[in-house]
Chains A and B, each alone.
Chain A
Amino acid sequence: MLKLFEYGKIGECAWRDELPNGLRLCVVPKPGYRKKMAFFAANYGGADRKFMLSEDWIETPAGVAHFLEHKMFDVEGGENALTTLSSRGASANAFTASNMTAYHFECTDMFYENLELLLKFVSTPYFTKDSVEKEQGIISQEIKMVEDEPDYAVYYGLIRNLYDSNPVRDPVAGSVESIRLIDPDLLYNCHRVFYTPSNMVLVAVGDIDPVKIRDLAFKILPEYNLPPARRDYGDAGGEYPNQLHFEKEMEVGAPIFLAGAKTKAGLSGDDMLRFELTASLALSVLMGRGSPLYNRMYSEGLVNDTFYYDFESTAGVSFLSFGGESQNPEQVCLRVLDEAERLVTSGVEQKFFARRQRSAYGHEIRGLNSFDNICYNVTVAGFNRYDYFKTVDVLESITAEDVRRFLAKYLRPELLAISTVRCARGEKDV
């Protein structure tokens, strides 16, 4: 039964249902908007490499989830769902992360026809030897393209510093070598195991009818309710990083870095939401735009406006990170650790904490403007069994002491690993 949940404080509401086949559905009404969006995602990403397939554990090469995403758009008869959606004016796309594969479109016209097609093509695998071989060429190009991006290099440098065996170490798209091992049989198997409705979430946002959407999902998706496959991410390797440093030279204008530390993993439900919000708030108090530390480092030219921090929780791991361009990344790390120690020792001043909390509140409200953001967050919340629209309530309940404890636990010198991309040619004149 579709059920309406109302969140008066933030001016939102959501219709939710769980179908007999296990699909979780959420429709977020947005009156007054012409644009409409649908987002259909499987709890299956680049890190889901080892899983149980009829009684046996099997290991798959890096890049299968992403490869599957590319091939799902093929429809029997030589048609391509992306072309059909585009020819109707919808702007459709898909992405694969380490913990999800998502297919989505945005349109202003023919929403239900587009939704029908989305549900159909994502639930109907169709692969041939030829089409798989051709895709190997296209994806090899995509892999090469990202390899030229310094941000990508610095990110995977950090991940490999932090973890020594977890599958998040390998790029989601795999490598030119690993994707050669992919064939139609493997794709069919992975689709069967992970694209089962009970392992998926459907979110729709816009001025749309929840009943029509539920009925379409009921009509088109398979009836069976199979439990999702068991999977194994291996060992996250304790609290210490695998190694402390990674360095690479690339053609960049200024050195860039990313430093980070492992945090508590394996949470779900409200505990996970609370931990993530505490982490973000702690990092914002420590080094956000409104923090004394950021402003001092900026004034001194130690960092510039590319400086950022992040907290990521995915596929059995979770870690904090911060980075950007800097001539002296080691110095930035030292300053961050010093400031953390100061806050831990002397406590986080209540007035300052309250300001940062207000700022975070505004940030969450702002996020409700973006259909992409709503779809993505409702999906993550669906996979992890918490309610995204309760974010501001949880946020308000976090205290300065929670933040202090987070900093004490995770911002310690022995936990911090750093990844740096330095300039290959030194100074370059433009």
Chain B
Amino acid sequence: MQRVYNKQIMRGVNLTCVKAEKFKTGCLSMTLITQLDKKTAAMNAMLPSVLRRGTARLPDMESIAAELDDMYGVRIEPALRKKGELQCIGFYADFPDDAFLPDGRNILEKTADLMGEMLLQPATSGGRLKAEYVDSERENLISDIKAEINDKRTYASMRLTEMMFKGERYGISRLGSLHDAEKITVHSLTRHYRELISSSIIQVFYCGAAEPEYVEQVIRGALATLPRVETYNMPTTELLTEEWTEPVKYLTEKMDVTQGKLVMGYRLGEAMRRPNHAALMVFNAVFGGAVTSKLFMNVRERLSLCYYASSGVDRLKGIMRVSSGIEFSKYNEALSEIERQLESVKNGEILPIEMEGAKKAVITAIYSALDEPGGLESLYLDESILGLSGDPSDLVPMVSEVTMEQVAKIADCAKLDSVYFLTGEDDNA
């Protein structure tokens, strides 16, 4: 089985190491955990891409690419994730294990060193980040923000989040806003970078065949010049635990699409006061997360109201989103059927196959994530944000014990906040 090593190796730097020999590749990530904030979101979003453009030693992408090629095509990619009200930025790398390469030596150490260089010794000019890189990555960020409209399903979900949390941190996109992106200058980004690199908590994750003690030594070396201050506090996410009693907000927008996208946002309120993560996962799988769920079996299969209908819970914020693709004319029908299905969970009308199917799906998902380096990385990042330290598989016995009453109780706490509909028709609902 996998051995996990968790240690603070420098002030504000935590290393999680999973020793596993079954993988063909290792993975390494370095993540700065920052507060999601309107003022800095766009700058944070573009920073890893700017740092990825060049280092003091390897001043452009071409020389970085040459070095990565020599290391058998190691990938080091900018990583940008929104977790609750946190914006996690940094780099994620995966690389073939030395054992499977004709002359593989120390790929891990070389990768860590190069990633450390990207974070700490960027290419500069006159003491600032290179204007050429900042300008071009700002344009890339602007086009990424504009391209959020391309995937209509994700776009609809983003519009819903903005609706539910207008003016609040959680409503901010992981890319920041177009307006803020356009204002970024070499000066403001350089200042922000220096501030961030010394003040942020850094989570380092490694999974692979190397011994944890060796990994620690490698990471200490790679981050040797990391500036650190006296104390570090983990940024927080405001978890919503109050019962929601406001009227439901509705918004319909028109676009040239052939299929409508219906997205509904719920607040889980009291269910988040002393959250039982296992019960939340089972609840979500019963309602809309699994193939045996109420939404899949009824809204899609039995009534053919949609092509897809699924739910997802953000346990860092205490909300649930339901997402569905429907014909324009089915808006009212789909909306009330989704509500009716939630009502039935609340009333405890849960078939044994729904309950068992949900639990088994959750357990399979946990075990499967443990068999993938990327899945492990994400699980452990969530754990460190939530301040948990156990093995993710510890959840399995708790999942098995979740009762129907616990699931019904969570459904009872779920209150509809907003409904967003993307339609292609003028006259609707």
Give chain B residues whose Cβ lies under 8 Å from the Cβ of A369: 23-25, 372-373
The docked-state distance in angstroms from the alpha carbon of A169 to that of B306 is 27
Considering the complex, which residues of chain A in the window 338-364 have a beta carbon less than 8 Å from any beta carbon of chain B? 355-356, 358-363
Assess whether A231 is interfacial by the CB under 8 Å rule.
no
Which one of A32, A149, A295, A429 lies within 8 Å of B22 (CB-CB)?
A: A32
Considering the complex, which residues of chain B in the window 133-156 have a beta carbon less than 8 Å from any beta carbon of chain A? 136, 139-140, 143-152
The docked-state distance in angstroms from the alpha carbon of A289 to that of B65 is 7
Assess whether A368 is interfacial by the CB under 8 Å rule.
yes
Q: 1/0 per residue A276-307: CB within 8 Å of B?
A: 00000000000001111001001101001100
Assess whether A138 is interfacial by the CB under 8 Å rule.
yes
Which one of A107, A150, A305, A366 lies within 8 Å of B94 (CB-CB)?
A: A366
Is B257 a contact of A362 with CB atoms below 8 Å?
no
Assess whether A129 is interfacial by the CB under 8 Å rule.
no
Considering the complex, which residues of chain B in the window 336-365 have a beta carbon less than 8 Å from any beta carbon of chain A? 353, 356-357, 359-361, 363-365
The docked-state distance in angstroms from the alpha carbon of A252 to that of B148 is 8
The docked-state distance in angstroms from the alpha carbon of A144 to that of B360 is 32
Assess whether B290 is interfacial by the CB under 8 Å rule.
yes
Considering the complex, which residues of chain A in the window 139-165 have a beta carbon less than 8 Å from any beta carbon of chain B? 141-142, 144-145, 147-150
Within the complex, what minimum Cβ distance (angstroms) separates B84 from chain A?
23
Which one of A9, A290, A301 lies within 8 Å of B68 (CB-CB)?
A: A290
Is A366 a contact of B25 with CB atoms below 8 Å?
yes
Is B291 a contact of A305 with CB atoms below 8 Å?
no
Category for how many chain A residues contact B: 35 or more
Assess whether A89 is interfacial by the CB under 8 Å rule.
yes
Q: 1/0 per residue B82-124: CB within 8 Å of A?
A: 0000000000001111011110000000000000000000000
Considering the complex, which residues of chain B in the window 30-77 have a beta carbon less than 8 Å from any beta carbon of chain A? 49, 60-62, 65-66, 68-74
Is B371 a contact of A33 with CB atoms below 8 Å?
yes
The docked-state distance in angstroms from the alpha carbon of A305 to that of B77 is 10
Assess whether A31 is interfacial by the CB under 8 Å rule.
yes
Give chain A residues whose Cβ lies under 8 Å from the Cβ of B139: 301
Give chain A residues whose Cβ lies under 8 Å from the Cβ of B14: none
Stretch at the interface among A38-46, A59-67, A80-88: A80-88
Is B65 a contact of A254 with CB atoms below 8 Å?
no
Given known contacts A148-B259, A295-B65, A299-B61, A365 and B24 CB-to-CB distance under 8 angstroms:
yes
Is B367 a contact of A87 with CB atoms below 8 Å?
no
Assess whether A30 is interfacial by the CB under 8 Å rule.
yes
Is B364 a contact of A361 with CB atoms below 8 Å?
no
Is B147 a contact of A325 with CB atoms below 8 Å?
yes
Give chain A residues whose Cβ lies under 8 Å from the Cβ of B69: 290, 355-356, 358-359
Give chain A residues whose Cβ lies under 8 Å from the Cβ of B145: 253, 430
The docked-state distance in angstroms from the alpha carbon of A34 to that of B371 is 7
Given known contacts A289-B65, A430-B146, A363 and B73 CB-to-CB distance under 8 angstroms:
yes
Given known contacts A144-B259, A299-B132, A369-B24, A362 and B73 CB-to-CB distance under 8 angstroms:
yes
Assess whether B428 is interfacial by the CB under 8 Å rule.
no
In the complex, which residue of chain B has the Cβ closest to the Cβ of A11? B100
Assess whether B196 is interfacial by the CB under 8 Å rule.
no
Within the complex, what minimum Cβ distance (angstroms) separates A118 from chain B?
15
Assess whether B165 is interfacial by the CB under 8 Å rule.
no
Within the complex, what minimum Cβ distance (angstroms) separates A110 from chain B?
9
The docked-state distance in angstroms from the alpha carbon of A331 to that of B318 is 48
Given known contacts A299-B61, A430-B178, A253 and B146 CB-to-CB distance under 8 angstroms:
yes
The docked-state distance in angstroms from the alpha carbon of A325 to that of B70 is 29
Greatest chain A CB density within 10 A among B148, B256, B308 is at B256
Which one of A86, A144, A289, A291 lies within 8 Å of B258 (CB-CB)?
A: A144
Within the complex, what minimum Cβ distance (angstroms) separates A340 from chain B?
18
Is B74 a contact of A250 with CB atoms below 8 Å?
no
Give chain B residues whose Cβ lies under 8 Å from the Cβ of A34: 367-368, 370-371
Is A254 a contact of B146 with CB atoms below 8 Å?
yes
Is A141 a contact of B306 with CB atoms below 8 Å?
yes
Assess whether A251 is interfacial by the CB under 8 Å rule.
yes
The docked-state distance in angstroms from the alpha carbon of A87 to that of B352 is 10
In the complex, which residue of chain B has the Cβ closest to the Cβ of A250? B256
Give chain B residues whose Cβ lies under 8 Å from the Cβ of A89: 357, 359-361, 363-364
The docked-state distance in angstroms from the alpha carbon of A34 to that of B392 is 14
Greatest chain A CB density within 10 A among B24, B94, B365 is at B24
Assess whether A58 is interfacial by the CB under 8 Å rule.
no
Give chain B residues whose Cβ lies under 8 Å from the Cβ of A141: 259, 306-307, 325-327
The docked-state distance in angstroms from the alpha carbon of A304 to that of B143 is 9
In the complex, which residue of chain A has the Cβ closest to the Cβ of B326? A141
Assess whether A52 is interfacial by the CB under 8 Å rule.
no
Assess whether B405 is interfacial by the CB under 8 Å rule.
no
Is B100 a contact of A142 with CB atoms below 8 Å?
no
Assess whether A10 is interfacial by the CB under 8 Å rule.
yes
Is A87 a contact of B353 with CB atoms below 8 Å?
yes
The docked-state distance in angstroms from the alpha carbon of A314 to that of B361 is 34
In the complex, which residue of chain A has the Cβ closest to the Cβ of B256? A251
Is B360 a contact of A87 with CB atoms below 8 Å?
yes
Which one of A9, A88, A428 lies within 8 Å of B100 (CB-CB)?
A: A9
Assess whether A106 is interfacial by the CB under 8 Å rule.
yes
Given known contacts A252-B150, A290-B68, A365-B101, A301 and B255 CB-to-CB distance under 8 angstroms:
no
Is A362 a contact of B368 with CB atoms below 8 Å?
no
Could you list which residues of chain B lie within 8 angstroms of chain A, going by C-beta atoms? 20-25, 49, 60-62, 65-66, 68-74, 94-97, 99-102, 132, 136, 139-140, 143-152, 177-178, 255-259, 290-292, 297, 300-301, 304, 306-308, 325-327, 353, 356-357, 359-361, 363-365, 367-368, 370-373
**14 more A-B contacts (CB under 8 A) besides A83-B291, A252-B150, A299-B132?**
A34-B371, A91-B361, A108-B364, A141-B306, A145-B258, A145-B307, A290-B68, A292-B62, A295-B60, A298-B136, A299-B61, A358-B69, A366-B25, A369-B25
The 4 closest A-B pairs by CB, nearest first: A89-B360, A253-B146, A359-B73, A362-B72
A-B contact pairs, 18 of them (CB 8 A): A9-B102, A35-B367, A88-B357, A134-B304, A138-B300, A141-B306, A141-B325, A144-B258, A145-B308, A252-B147, A253-B150, A254-B143, A304-B144, A358-B73, A362-B101, A366-B73, A369-B373, A429-B178
Could you list which residues of chain A lie within 8 angstroms of chain B, going by C-beta atoms? 9-11, 30-35, 80, 82-83, 86-92, 106-109, 134, 137-138, 141-142, 144-145, 147-150, 250-254, 256, 289-292, 295, 298-299, 301, 304-305, 325, 355-356, 358-363, 365-366, 368-369, 424, 428-430
